[in-house]
Amino acid sequence: MILDRFRLDGKVAVVTGAGRGIGRGCALAFAEAGADVVVAARTQAHLDELAEAIRGLGRRALTVPCDVTQPSQLDNLASQTLKEFGRVDVLLNNAGGSPPTPMLQLTDEAFEEAFHFNVTSAMSLSRHLIPHMVKSGVGSIINISSGLSHLVEPGFAAYGTAKAALSHLTRLMACEFAPHVRVNAIAVGATLTDALSPFVKGDLREQMEELTPLGRLGEVEDISACALYLAAPAASWVTGKIFEVDGGTVASNWPLKIPAFSEPPA
């Protein structure tokens, strides 16, 4: 049966930024497909609620509070995973982000923090877990990138550059670790997460939907369905690819009104 290729029975998945939004949705999708799931985020209460939901699906869950910008906490996440389950098969590097900031107001420190949060942390955790994925069989790493890795919008010099780097890191990792570990990314478009939904209302939401060819904003399940495909045997012949899950956008649909730079009058 073709649907059997979307199963993750007997697999262990690690999800960062799992407390809410896309990370939470992907963790639940992996569990529904049969995986035991290690969920990592900074807020223990969010992890506890998610773990209860995973166990309600009949799967094991391990919660590991983790700030992915802290190397020692990534070390702990890897060691706790292996101590509890003895293997790892899937890694979803979801934790990341950076607020929009006009480039002339962007400090070097903020730029480097965006890179560390979105790129270095994913590379570091992958480096910890890849040898153990190889021991388990064939692993899958999924990096959550962004449409702003290839689209343009004023104010996203830090975030967009970091996500572009993450997308290309995905390709480089896929080349280096094939055929033992598949590495792909999802370039996520505007998606209605717990964090975004309160700000996308009324006229703003209508504008964004009008700028989206498929006429709506993304749902968490749109992203988690793609993540499940990439994690599962269904995608066993797919590596080094960036999947654009964005409603068909070919230009930014974020009307944030951050002004583009214009030369000040003399």
Q: Strands, E, within the chain: which ranges?
A: 12-16, 36-41, 61-65, 90-93, 139-146, 181-188, 242-245
| Nearest-angstrom CA–CA distance, 150 and 164 | 7
Rounded to 5 degrees, φ, ψ at 242 are -110, 110
- The structure tokens listed for 22 are 């896309």
> Which residue type is seen at 69?
T
Long-range interactions of 57-65: CB distance < 8 A, separation 24+:
57/28, 57/31, 57/32, 59/31, 59/34, 59/35, 60/36, 60/85, 61/31, 61/36, 61/37, 62/36, 62/37, 62/38, 63/39, 64/38, 64/39, 64/40, 65/40, 65/41
How many Cβ atoms sit within 10 Å of the Cβ of residue 3? Answer: 8
> Which residue type is seen at 125?
L
Q: Using the Cα atoms of residue 67, residue 73, residue 75 and residue 78 in order, give the sign of their dihedral.
A: negative
**Residues forming a β-bridge with 185:** 143, 242
What Å distances lie between residue 55 and 38, 50, 63, 66, 193, CA to CA? 12, 9, 12, 21, 23
Name the catalytic one among 111, 115, 159, 229.
Answer: 159
**Does residue 229 have an active-site annotation?**
no
Question: Which residues are known catalytic residues?
Answer: 159
